[in-house]
Amino acid sequence: MSLSPRLAGLMARGARFLGAEYAIMGGAMTWVSERNLVSALSNAGAFGVLACGAMEPDRLAEEIAATRALTARPFGVNLITLHPKLEALVDVCLAGEVPIIVFAGGVPPAPAIKRAKEGGARVVCFAPSLALARRLVRLGADALIIEGSEAGGHIGPVSLNVLAQEILPHMTEVPVFVAGGIGRGEAMLCYLEMGAAGVQLGTRFVCATESIAHPRFKQAFIRASARDALPSVQLDERFPVIPVRAIVNEGSRRFLAHQAEVIRRFQAGEITREEAQLAIEHFWAGALRRAVLEGDVEYGSLMAGQSVGMVTREQPAAEIIAELIAQAEAALAARYQAV
């Protein structure tokens, strides 16, 4: 759908950077953001991003080729900075002529950024603070994503509302995309007007028709409200738990009991501190895959952002994007009509 001149102007920088019709990025969700959803988003005028996750280089190469077979439009690849074969994965992206590489999960090593840029790709990094945003730009980031704690999966401590106020007015050298809790076009519009180049949405696309997520996983999203998507709870500061936002289920409740039992065993001298930490960390091993692909919604990990309450039905990706655009346009029209 064509944009009004006002909305097109607000999206121009982000859309130009992405090479897309709309300045809307798909969040890279492990097991969900694969060839089918990514190509559907790009075909609908947004910008799909493959989630590499723990893929080996050969597997990523297959996924890039398979996505390329489904869309002639640009898409990106999200790489986890802690992957032991990060530079090899960068090479795979370059060989597959991926135009944008998104580094996630920490500050990417300078050699990986250099390798990506020298190979012709543009680099996008996540910036949880203004100081880090400036550092990443100095390292060579071509664009940034600021993601608030409203997002699903691994989260930081600060909301997007605050991050946007802290970063957007001061970071103009490169395009900045915002993410976390965005589920409607009116919110997208507000951040564009604050200076964001575009938005990134993940949770909103889980129930796209093209998403391969299990029907039970999708139903869990459709039934959930914002208040059901909570961060994981840490019982003892001696045993850190990385905050992960997910829909509360029996697995969440068992995780609390598991932590308590592990801590009891440590205090009783039955296991070492290192063994206790590993026991806590390994509780969720494979849980996201079980939930997304096998439909284990009781004990699997239902990673979801707080915008999950705005997911009300299964829809084609193009329809979701058209809805977001229509909501933003309606808000713009109402605003200027009132003036």
Is 114 found in the same domain as 191? yes
pLDDT in tens, 131-141: 999 999 999 99
Residues 6+ apart with CB under 8 A from 204: 182, 183, 307, 310, 311, 320, 324
The confidence score (pLDDT) of residue 337 equals 80
Place of tokens 């589920």: 183
Is 237 found in the same domain as 187? no
The answer to whether position 18 is within a domain reads: yes
The model's confidence at residue 160, banded by pLDDT at 50, 70 and 90, is: very high
Residue 338 predicted with pLDDT over 70: no
The answer to whether position 101 is within a domain reads: yes
Is 281 found in the same domain as 154? no
Is 88 found in the same domain as 44? yes
pLDDT in tens, 272-326: 999 999 999 999 999 999 999 999 999 999 999 999 999 999 999 999 999 999 9
Write down the mean pLDDT value for the chain: 97
Number of structural domains (the chain) is: 2
The confidence score (pLDDT) of residue 335 equals 84
Is 240 found in the same domain as 121? no
Is 162 found in the same domain as 96? yes
8 A C-beta contact, residue 9 and residue 16: no
Q: Average the pLDDT over 235-243 and give the result.
A: 94
The answer to whether position 216 is within a domain reads: no
Is 251 found in the same domain as 150? no
The answer to whether position 328 is within a domain reads: yes
The answer to whether position 217 is within a domain reads: no
- Measured distance CA(223)–CA(314) in Å, rounded: 12
Radius of gyration of the chain measured on its C-alpha atoms: 20
Strand partners, 177: 145, 198
- Range with lowest mean pLDDT among 82-86, 322-326, 327-331, 335-339: 335-339
Three-state helix/strand/coil letters over 281-332:
HHHHCCHHHHHHHHCCCCCCCCECCHHHHHCCCCECHHHHHHHHHHHHHHHH
Is 238 found in the same domain as 204? no
pLDDT in tens, 204-214: 999 999 999 99
Is 193 found in the same domain as 47? yes
The answer to whether position 218 is within a domain reads: no
Q: Average the pLDDT over 118-144 and give the result.
A: 97
Is 150 found in the same domain as 69? yes
The answer to whether position 219 is within a domain reads: no
Is 71 found in the same domain as 111? yes
The confidence score (pLDDT) of residue 336 equals 79
pLDDT in tens, 79-117: 999 999 999 999 999 999 999 999 999 999 999 999 999
Supply the CATH number for residue 163's domain.
Answer: 3.20.20.70
8 A C-beta contact, residue 164 and residue 178: yes
The answer to whether position 85 is within a domain reads: yes
Is 295 found in the same domain as 325? no
Chain-centroid distance, C-alpha 128: 14
Range of the domain at 201: 5-211+313-338
The model's confidence at residue 171, banded by pLDDT at 50, 70 and 90, is: very high
The confidence score (pLDDT) of residue 339 equals 55
